Amino acid sequence: MMKEHTKPNPDDRRDNVEKIEYNIGQTLKNIDLAEEMIEKTDDEKMKQDLIEKNERRKDALKGMREEIREEAIAREKGYRN
């Protein structure tokens, strides 16, 4: 049986900025929810886990913000590949 060679889907970046903006919003919401849990719980392990998770989320936000900047620049230039 021969495998059919298919072309990969073209890189469609038109809505990347919006997708990243959505992900940033969701990450910020998760940070806020985790901070609420930190305030409410007496479980020290849970607090520490949530604090560490929020630190990772904040690091991820930095990357997403850089990515959104790059996508916005690419959009202005017409997404030439």
45 token code pair? 């392990």
Can you give the residue ranges of every domain in the chain? 16-77
Q: What is the pLDDT of residue 2?
A: 58
74 token code pair? 């690419």
Residue 29 has pLDDT above 80, yes or no: yes
Neighbours of 53 (CB within 10 A): 13
| Contacts (Cβ under 8 Å, ≥6 apart) of 11 | 81
Between the alpha carbon of residue 69 and those of residues 16, 25, 40, 44, 54, the distances in Å are 11, 16, 36, 38, 22
Q: What is the mean pLDDT of residues 57-76?
A: 92
Q: What is the mean pLDDT of residues 60-66?
A: 96
State what percent of residues in the chain have pLDDT above 90: 64
Q: What does pTM read for this prediction?
A: 0.76
